[in-house]
Structure 1
Amino acid sequence: MRAVVQRVTHAKVTVDGQVTGEIGAGLMILICAMQGDSETQADQLAAKIAKLRIFKDDADKMNLSVRDIGGACLVVSQFTLAADLRGNRPGFSTAAPPTEAQRLYEYFTARLREEGLPTANGIFGADMDVELVNQGPVTIWMDTAT
């Protein structure tokens, strides 16, 4: 699985003018299931993100996790993270098929909740407007294949 994780002061996702997910301080997570991914990759990624220490402590060092600060996660599916950029028009053939991708997206979200993290979502496969304030900025790219 691939993810882009951003430390945010707040974030929200809107579909057809309706807010479907919104958080305050925490993590904006764009997630993509790749071909061949399974629950194992989702488990690994959720556990890693829950423990990722990218929030500042009292000494101004990135030493705290989203759980440590009482933050939340906003998870949005984004198959374009699978982009193959060999040409001028990206290809997405390495992304998991939609049915499997949705299943793993929902499973990943459930795993974050099991890690004790309040979690909001976009709508899988929808055209979404995502708004966020990236604090730092801090943006981390993660891939379970590497």
Structure 2
Amino acid sequence: MSFASVLVLNGPNLNLLGTREPAIYGVETLDDVAKLCRDAGERLGLAVDFCQSNAEHQLIDWLHAARTKVDGIVINPAAYTHTSVAIADALSAIGKPVVEVHISNVHRREAFRHHSYVSAVADAIIVGCGTQGYIFALERMATILKNRAAK
């Protein structure tokens, strides 16, 4: 039984997981990641809604819709991490806890990947743990939500 609901949101090019640069992103597909998240959610008592889009406006629309429907957001904004003030603003505006996740260690990559607009509004950041990072992000979200409910 779920005690909370979480939106797991994925940005551009993550639909290519499994075939896009497997040396960096691994061989698991986005469907594999969705299953990992749903299984982890079930174990943690979280109802997981899992979405991906290459379109910035779609991600923002989903965030706006989530405002009254979910308790927390786990987001891998992908390339929008480094460019989208709009996504950071949407996350801030909805007032839900946010855990930012990245499959690769962005700090060991190109310099432009070292800055994240999302990190400024995130409650936690998971980087460089492969797709296992999504599980860590959901575990952290479950803790955040349980702590808030206990207050």
TM-score category, normalised to shorter length: 0.3 to 0.5
Q: Which has the higher helix share?
A: 2
Normalised TM-score (structure 2): 0.34
Normalised TM-score (structure 1): 0.35
Q: Which has the higher contact order (CA 8 A, sep 6+)?
A: 1
Q: Which has the higher strand share?
A: 1
Larger radius of gyration: 1
